[in-house]
């Protein structure tokens, strides 16, 4: 096998995303669009978490905006954001050469393997909220975690078969690395030579400021608590009606609502555990029902 | 003679699992070959991020033919038994079996089974798939649509015997003779004929250093070179060295720079980010001995730019981490330590045992009580205890839990707390493992003991004890910590006294236990705790409790305390055993019911020294003889109670009996003073005086005299000998 070679660097943040999309489309992935709900991670898109369940094969890739209210920093931290992008790839079953496919995707976005030190460092991924875990690695590029690479073993508390390979690229981090930028807001969002060159800051800085203020100062905790309870009962009712997909949507809504409550530091550790358990029950319940239906549909 | 090469090639194996897997695979293959009658000259193994390899040399091509006999039923046995024997032995007719005669059992059948030797290749083809399927990993997984479990997806199996592939399949993966090298520098594939060729190709074109030792040496040497050139000193770290040895197939050492502005952060924050999060080695400035603004990273490539980008990239990641550290440090310093401590009441320690704030209250009270016994200022001990957990609510510890205690010390110093208070905040967690030092400052000792004892008594009160290999709250470590601190500082503490005192504090959390709590014992214990300094109060307490034995409540409470005490005893045994003391001596001293660890240890040491002398060994033999006679008598029927020696009767007896009586009387009164003064060497030298009289007694006197009165008197004398020795230890538990 010839030594791998890097391609020229992408021109911009969006160029990097487009390269990844084109590359994974070539690998037979359906390029999905972001899920239209607030989620904390790309994994939670039903295109990953629910499709990992059941007997049907599946390949998809997509960008997913992720919201983590607690990580918001009023736009003042060069590395941390309350709203950012993940690029998510799922291949079910995982092909035997998934590691090579992944590494090639890094070469495609300009990471030269002769110059950069790429490592697979043990990291057992777990998301108790959706009852999921898997084994895999954090992928490090010169000491920076650029992706999470996981072979799902369980989702919704159920063993998965076939096994999916899941890749999550932290897009901003990866881009900062590729472009040698120390501050996320300095990333070129589009081509710097274009008619209207835009940086990441031009697009998102003010959003980070205002959303941070909302997360930490202006959210109405009492109202959020009511919303949480409403989402919970809606999700339960939908599950009772045998509709796991919308039930899962309302589990996601409850989850994000909890994250907002949590960001205000308004709950004690014990209460916090109780909220997490409630979200987990919703998400797991919906996932388990979906898996059951998928099995039944495949059998019929 | 044939050589066997086996390589199991997979996606990246977690670093911490490689060495054990290497050893396990070597052992499993060796056992399988030996078990099949295939002896070999040598077996060597290697492991790395993507492969486990074994080389077996000097194997026969085939195992030897073996013939063995199989015993069958008696001649004339029922047909069914004969049929079963024929089937099991693979015979078609009973005529094929021989008939043997046994003088006792009579005639019976024997089948002669000839097992022809097997080809080594066949044995290997059967053994390797079985080893792979049954291999134990700490965590394993499935992948794709397969059923096999391995640590990460299995990618290839090389199995070559004498240059030829041993063909087999595991879950669809066929064995072969091709392997891969380093992903970037020399992927291959490489076709291999045996170990020599395999290691030559991989280490050459393949850019894979096969053995852990080779990689470790390359890294250590690389670090030494880099440091020598830059005037730096490597902060050696064997654990991290072992870890990075498992993270690179072709390790290359790279020196990176850190922004010196971060040096105003506590060095622990910097080294934690380096070693735990980034797996970098820290380096010191050779001249000052202080942390230098550089780090060493071990890469997995020989970069074409000499590692410039690797160094720069890693430096950027470190900066981002330290930037976070600085943010937390500044934020925490702006918060009062007392305010942090106040927040502890909102955090659960253990649901049944209240909040962390509750725990701190109890620890503070106990630290205050323990202070005089360990030579600490009571106010300082209490203050340190009140602050010792405060940093758990700090931003820094929230983000980096490993820094608990360390940050508290910095925040205390910044707030102007006394140095001994600040040190105690950091050191009360010690010892954190067998290789960690124990605290030595009295204030630290008081808080360290109080914290651990509080946890132990509490978990015993709610009946959450370690079981088997499960010890999620590290209670064994806590108890061993108490043992080590007490012994290494020679502090005298009554563990039972502490248990009584703590039980009271736990009452509010274990309300259900309230009715089981013997108030009478509690008040007695309180008196004893105050009065106690090296004086065993346990016997008094024991008697008191025995007197109440009819009451179930007392029994349940007592069993809890004695259970915890024996938990400490086990830890002490483990500790003393590691120090080379005999475990039987420890048992012998423990049997006395002592709860002062220092005293127990001194007794064990004095006893060990005594038994090493001729006097001691001979006296032990005499004791055993006496004890055996008494035990034999006790078996026949209990010895009469209040068996006491009749001095008048002795006078009429032989001189050996008189001499033993005289010596015993003298020794009993002579050991009282050294026992009280805890001068165990003195006690032993007195006991030594019993050796000759005991010996002479057994030589010249017959215990089993015809006269019942004389016999009873001699038994009484032996009972006294036994009782005298039991003041030092239960000699019956001593071996030899």
Residues of B in contact with A163 (CB under 8 A): 141-145
The percent of residues in chain B predicted with pLDDT above 90, rounded, is 48
* Selection from B241, B238, B256, B192 nearest residue B7 by Cα: B192
Q: Supply the pLDDT for residue B514.
A: 39
| pLDDT attached to residue B527 | 40
Same domain, B154 and B123: yes
Beta strands in B87-210 (DSSP E): 98-102, 106-115, 154-161, 164-165, 169-170, 173-176, 178-179, 190-191
| A80-94, B252-266, B314-328: least confident range | B314-328
DSSP assigned state of B690: G
Average pLDDT over residues A251-280: 87
In the prediction, which pLDDT does B11 show? 98
- Is residue B537 situated within a structural domain? yes
The answer, yes or no, to whether residue B422 has pLDDT greater than 90, is yes
Query: Is the Cβ pair B318, A143 closer than 8 Å?
Result: yes
B248 and B171 assigned to the same domain: no
What does the pLDDT read at residue A187?
Answer: 97
Residue B413's nearest CA partner among B421, B405, B402 is: B421
Cα–Cα distance between A186 and A183 in angstroms, integer?
6
Between CA B197 and CA B206, with CA B201 as vertex, the angle to 5 degrees is 155
- Please judge whether A270 and B348 are an interchain contact, meaning their C-beta atoms are less than 8 angstroms apart: yes
B561 and B542 share a domain? yes
Domain co-membership, B483 together with B537? yes
Q: Domain spanning A220-299: which superfamily?
A: Class II aaRS and biotin synthetases; domain 2 (1.20.58.180)
Question: Do residue B528 and residue B560 come from a single domain?
Answer: yes
| Distance (Å) of CA B375 to CA A263, B289, B366, B378, B497 | 47, 34, 14, 9, 18
CA dihedral B603, B607, B610, B612 (to 10 degrees): -140
pLDDT over 80 at B538, yes or no: no
Q: What digits encode the pLDDT tens for the residues A43-84?
A: 999 999 999 999 999 999 999 999 999 989 899 988 889 999
Whole-number mean pLDDT of chain B? 86
The more confident residue out of B313 and B104 is: B313
Task: State whether A116 and B16 contact (CB < 8 Å).
Answer: no
Under the banding of pLDDT at 50, 70 and 90, the label for residue A284 is very high
CA distance A109 to A171: 11
Q: How many helices (DSSP H) and strands (DSSP E) are in chain B?
A: 29, 16
- Work out whether the CA dihedral A126, A127, A130, A131 comes out positive or negative: positive
Ranges of each domain in chain A: 13-213, 220-299
The packing angle between helices B552-578 and B583-590, to 10°, is: 150
Residue B77 has pLDDT above 90, yes or no: no
CA distances to A96, A264, B338, B627, B714 from B717, rounded to whole Å, are 84, 80, 66, 12, 5
Domain count, chain B: 5
- A160 pLDDT higher than 70: yes
A-chain residues within 8 Å CB-CB of B313? 116-117, 141-144, 177
Spatial distance between the Cα atoms of B486 and A220, rounded to a whole number of angstroms: 54
**Dihedral (C-alpha) A273, A279, A281, A286: value to the nearest 10 degrees?**
-160
How confident is the model at residue B503, as a pLDDT? 60
> Residue B470 has what DSSP assignment?
B
Q: Is the pLDDT of residue B583 over 90?
A: no
Residues in chain A closer than 8 A to B312 (CB atoms) = 142
Give mean pLDDT, residues B209-233. 96
Q: B12 and B109, same structural domain?
A: no
Q: Which two tokens stand for residue B42?
A: 């040598």
pLDDT at B666: 92
The confidence score (pLDDT) of residue B533 equals 40
Is the domain of B42 the same as that of B83?
no
Q: Is A281 exposed, middle or buried (0-12, 13-18, 19+ CB in 10 A)?
A: middle
Higher model confidence: residue A124 or residue B505?
A: A124
CA distance B139 to A89: 24
Residue B586's pLDDT band, with cuts at 50, 70 and 90, is confident
C-alpha torsion sign, points B558, B560, B565, B569 = positive
* Other C-beta atoms lying within 10 Å of the C-beta of residue B560: 18
pLDDT at B502: 64
Does residue B400 have a pLDDT over 90? Answer: no
Statement: residue B576 has pLDDT above 60: yes
Sign of the torsion formed by the C-alpha atoms of A26, A27, A33 and A39: negative
ipTM, two decimals? 0.94
**Same domain flag for B96 and B52:** no
Burial status of residue B330 (CB atoms within 10 A of its CB: 0-12, 13-18, 19 or more): exposed
List all residues 6 or more positions away from A252 whose beta carbon is below 8 Å from its beta carbon: A37, A38, A39, A44, A283
Closest CA–CA distance from residue A135 to any residue of chain B (Å): 7
Question: In this structure, are B456 and B533 located in the same domain?
Answer: yes
B229 pLDDT higher than 70: yes
Confirm if A123 and A136 have CB atoms less than 8 A apart: yes
Say whether both B431 and B510 belong to one domain: yes
Q: Measured between CA atoms, how close is A9 to chain B, in angstroms?
A: 15
Highest mean pLDDT among A9-23, B315-329, B395-409: A9-23
A151/A144 Cα distance (integer angstroms)? 21
Which of chain B's residues have a Cβ under 8 Å away from the Cβ of A96?
144, 153, 155
Give the model's confidence band at B501: pLDDT under 50 very low, under 70 low, under 90 confident, else very high.
low
CB spacing of A3 vs B187 below 8 angstroms: yes
Let me know whether B52 and B191 are in one domain: yes
**b/e sequence A175-213, b meaning 16+ C-beta within 10 Å:** bbbbbebeebbebbbbeeeeeeebbbbeebbeebbebbe
| A115 in contact with chain B, both atoms CB, cutoff 8 A | yes
Q: Closest Cα partner for B586 from B483, B476, B734, B450?
A: B734
Distance CA B44, CA A123 (A): 30
Cα separation, A227 vs A289, whole angstroms: 24
* Per-residue tokens: B731: 């000699």
- For residue A235, pLDDT over 80 is answered with yes
Domain assignment present for B656:
yes
Select from B502, B489, B496, B415 the least CA-distant residue to B459.
B502
Assess whether the previous peptide bond of A114 is cis (omega < 30° from 0): no
Does the pLDDT value for residue B228 go beyond 90? yes
Strands A58-67, B291-299: parallel, antiparallel or unpaired by DSSP?
Answer: unpaired
pLDDT reported for residue B633: 80
Distance from the Cα of A123 to chain B's closest Cα (Å) equals 8
Region for A9 from its dihedrals, namely left if φ exceeds 0, alpha if ψ lies in -120 to 50, beta otherwise? beta
pLDDT of residue B641: 65
User: Average pLDDT of chain A?
Assistant: 93
What pLDDT digit, counting tens, does each position of B164-205 carry?
999 999 999 999 999 999 999 999 899 999 999 999 999 999
pLDDT digits (tens, 9 = 90+) for B448-460: 999 998 888 888 7
Neighbours of B83 (CB within 10 A): 11
B186 CA: distance to closest CA in chain A (Å): 7
CB A70 within 8 A of CB A263: yes
Q: Rounded to whole angstroms, how far apart are CA atoms A151 and A134?
A: 5
Within a domain: residue B285? yes
> Is B171 part of any domain?
yes
Q: What's the average model confidence in pLDDT over A120-141?
A: 91
Asked whether the predicted pLDDT for residue B465 surpasses 90, the reply is no
Does residue B152 surpass a pLDDT of 80?
A: yes
- Residue B191, classified by CB atoms within 10 Å of its CB into exposed (0-12), middle (13-18) or buried (19+), is middle
> In this predicted model, which residue has the larger pLDDT, B114 or A173?
A173
State the DSSP code for B147.
Answer: -
Is position B724 within any domain? yes
Cβ distance B144 to A121 less than 8 Å, yes or no, reads no
Please answer yes or no on whether B145 and A163 come within 8 Å at the CB atom: yes
Between A68 and B434, where is the model more confident? Answer: A68
Nearest to B143 among A114, A142, A151 (CB): A151
The distance of Cα B694 from the centroid of its chain, to the nearest Å, equals 42
Q: What is the mean pLDDT of residues A190-208?
A: 97
CATH number at residue B709: 1.10.730.10
Mean per-residue pLDDT for B416-424? 96
Asked if A217 reaches chain B (Cβ–Cβ under 8 Å), the answer is no
Distances (CA, A) of A300 to A52, A293, A296, A297: 20, 11, 6, 5
pLDDT, greater one: B348 or B670: B670
pLDDT at residue A24, rounded to an integer: 98
Interface test with A, best of B9, B12, B299 (most A CBs within 10 A): B12
pLDDT given at position B555: 60
pLDDT of A102 reads 97
* Residues B574, B475 share a domain: yes
Q: Comparing C-alpha atoms, which of B317, B323, B360, B325 is closest to residue B340? A: B360
pLDDT at B80: 87
* Chain position carrying tokens 């106990």: B366
In percent, the amount of chain B with pLDDT more than 70 equals 90
Q: What is the distance between the alpha carbons of residues B238 and B192, in angstroms, rounded to a whole number?
A: 34
B90 touches chain A (CB under 8 A): no
Instruction: Quote the domain boundaries for residue B42.
Output: 2-62+119-203
- Angle value at C-alpha B281, between B275 and B286, nearest 5 degrees: 135
d(CA B313, CA B297): 11
Query: How large is the average pLDDT for residues B512-516?
Result: 40
Q: What is the rounded average pLDDT of the residues B479-508?
A: 75
**Hey, which CATH number is domain A13-213, 3.30.930.10, 3.40.50.300, 3.40.50.720, 3.40.50.150?**
3.30.930.10
């Amino acid at each position: 096998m010839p030594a791998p070679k890097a391609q020229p660097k992408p021109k911009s943040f969006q160029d990097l995303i487009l390269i990844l999309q084109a590359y994974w489309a070539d690998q037979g992935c359906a390029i999905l669009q972001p899920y239209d709900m607030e989620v904390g991670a790309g994994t939670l898109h039903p295109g990953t978490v629910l499709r990992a369940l059941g007997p049907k094969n599946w390949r998809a890739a997509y960008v997913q905006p992720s919201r983590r209210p607690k990580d918001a920093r009023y736009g003042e931290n060069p590395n941390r954001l309350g709203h950012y992008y993940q690029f998510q790839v799922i291949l079910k079953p995982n092909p035997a050469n998934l590691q090579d496919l992944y590494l090639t995707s890094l070469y495609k976005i300009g990471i030269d393997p002769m110059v950069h030190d790429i490592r697979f460092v043990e990291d057992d991924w777990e998301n108790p909220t959706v009852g999921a875990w898997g084994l895999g690695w954090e992928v490090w590029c010169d000491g920076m975690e650029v992706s999470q690479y996981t072979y799902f073993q369980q989702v919704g508390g159920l063993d998965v078969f076939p096994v999916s390979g899941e890749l999550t690229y932290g897009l901003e981090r990866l881009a900062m690395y590729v472009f040698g930028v120390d501050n996320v807001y300095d990333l070129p969002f589009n081509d710097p030579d274009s008619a209207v060159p835009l940086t990441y800051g031009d697009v998102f800085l003010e959003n980070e400021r205002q959303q941070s203020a909302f997360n930490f100062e202006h959210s109405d905790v009492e109202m959020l608590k009511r919303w949480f309870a409403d989402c919970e009962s809606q999700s339960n009712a939908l599950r009772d009606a045998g509709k796991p997909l919308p039930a899962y949507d309302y589990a996601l809504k409850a989850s994000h609502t909890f994250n907002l409550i949590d960001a205000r530091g308004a709950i004690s550790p014990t209460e916090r555990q109780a909220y997490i358990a409630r979200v987990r029950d919703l998400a797991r319940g919906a996932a388990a029902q979906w898996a059951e239906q998928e099995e039944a549909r495949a059998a019929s | 003679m044939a050589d066997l090469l086996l390589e199991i090639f997979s996606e990246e194996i977690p670093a911490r699992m490689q060495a054990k897997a290497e050893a396990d695979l070597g052992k499993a293959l060796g056992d399988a070959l030996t078990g099949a009658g295939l002896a070999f000259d040598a077996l060597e193994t290697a492991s790395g991020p993507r492969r486990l390899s074994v080389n077996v040399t000097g194997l026969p091509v085939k195992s030897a033919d073996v013939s063995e006999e199989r015993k069958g039923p008696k001649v004339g046995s029922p047909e069914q038994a004969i049929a079963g024997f024929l089937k099991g032995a693979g015979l078609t007719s009973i005529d094929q079996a021989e008939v043997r005669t046994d003088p006792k059992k009579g005639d019976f059948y024997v089948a002669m089974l000839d097992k022809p030797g097997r080809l080594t290749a066949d044995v290997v083809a059967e053994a390797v798939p079985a080893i792979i399927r049954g291999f134990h990993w700490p965590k394993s997984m499935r992948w794709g649509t397969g059923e096999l479990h391995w640590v990460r997806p299995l990618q290839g199996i090389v199995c070559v015997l004498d240059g030829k592939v041993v063909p087999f399949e595991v879950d669809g993966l066929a064995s072969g003779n091709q392997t891969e090298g380093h992903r970037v520098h020399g992927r291959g594939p490489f076709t291999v004929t045996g170990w020599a060729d395999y290691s030559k190709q991989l280490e050459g074109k393949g850019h894979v250093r096969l053995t852990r030792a080779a990689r470790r040496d390359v890294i250590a040497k690389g670090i030494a070179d880099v440091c020598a050139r830059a005037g730096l000193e490597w902060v050696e770290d064997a654990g991290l060295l072992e870890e990075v040895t498992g993270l690179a197939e072709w390790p290359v050492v790279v020196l990176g720079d850190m922004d010196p502005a971060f040096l105003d952060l506590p060095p622990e924050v910097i080294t934690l980010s380096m070693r735990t999060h980034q797996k970098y080695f820290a380096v010191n400035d050779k001249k000052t001995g202080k942390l230098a603004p550089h780090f060493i990273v071990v890469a997995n490539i020989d970069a074409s730019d000499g590692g410039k980008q690797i160094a720069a990239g890693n430096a950027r990641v470190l900066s981002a981490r330290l930037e976070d550290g600085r943010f937390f440090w500044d934020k925490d310093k702006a918060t009062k330590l007392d305010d942090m401590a106040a927040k502890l009441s909102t955090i659960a320690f253990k649901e049944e045992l209240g909040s962390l704030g509750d725990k701190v209250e109890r620890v503070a009270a106990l630290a205050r009580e323990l202070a005089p016994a360990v030579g600490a200022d009571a106010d300082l001990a209490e203050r340190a205890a009140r602050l010792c957990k405060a940093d758990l609510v700090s931003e820094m510890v929230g983000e980096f839990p490993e820094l608990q205690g360390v940050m508290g010390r910095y925040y205390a110093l910044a707030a102007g707390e006394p140095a001994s208070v600040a040190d105690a905040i950091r050191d009360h967690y010690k010892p954190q493992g067998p290789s960690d030092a124990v605290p030595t400052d009295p204030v630290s000792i008081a808080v360290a003991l109080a914290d651990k004892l509080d946890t132990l008594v509490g978990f015993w009160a709610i009946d959450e004890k370690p079981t088997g290999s499960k010890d999620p709250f590290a209670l064994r470590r806590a108890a061993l910590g108490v043992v080590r601190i007490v012994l290494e500082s020679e502090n005298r503490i009554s563990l039972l006294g502490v248990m009584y005192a703590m039980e009271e504090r736990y009452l509010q959390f274990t309300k259900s236990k309230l009715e089981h709590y013997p108030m009478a014992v509690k008040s007695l214990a309180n008196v004893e705790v105050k009065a106690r300094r090296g004086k065993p109060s346990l016997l008094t307490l024991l008697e008191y409790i025995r007197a109440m034995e009819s009451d179930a409540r007392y029994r349940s409470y007592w069993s809890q305390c004695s259970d915890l005490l024996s938990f400490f005893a086990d830890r002490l045994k483990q500790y003393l055993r590691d120090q080379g003391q005999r475990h039987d001596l420890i048992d012998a001293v423990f049997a006395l019911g002592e709860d002062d660890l220092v005293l127990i240890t001194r007794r064990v040491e004095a006893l060990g020294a005594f038994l090493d002398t001729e006097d001691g060994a001979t006296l032990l033999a005499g004791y055993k003889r006496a004890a055996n006679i008494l035990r034999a008598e006790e078996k026949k029927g209990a010895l009469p109670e209040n068996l006491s020696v009749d001095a008048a009767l002795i006078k009429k007896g032989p001189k050996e009996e008189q001499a033993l009586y005289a010596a015993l009387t003298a020794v009993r009164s002579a050991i009282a003073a050294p026992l009280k003064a805890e001068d165990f060497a003195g006690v032993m030298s007195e006991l030594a005086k019993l050796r000759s009289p005991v010996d002479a007694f057994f030589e010249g006197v017959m215990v089993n005299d015809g006269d019942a009165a004389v016999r009873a008197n001699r038994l009484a004398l032996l009972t006294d000998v036994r009782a005298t020795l039991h003041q030092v230890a239960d000699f019956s538990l001593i071996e030899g």
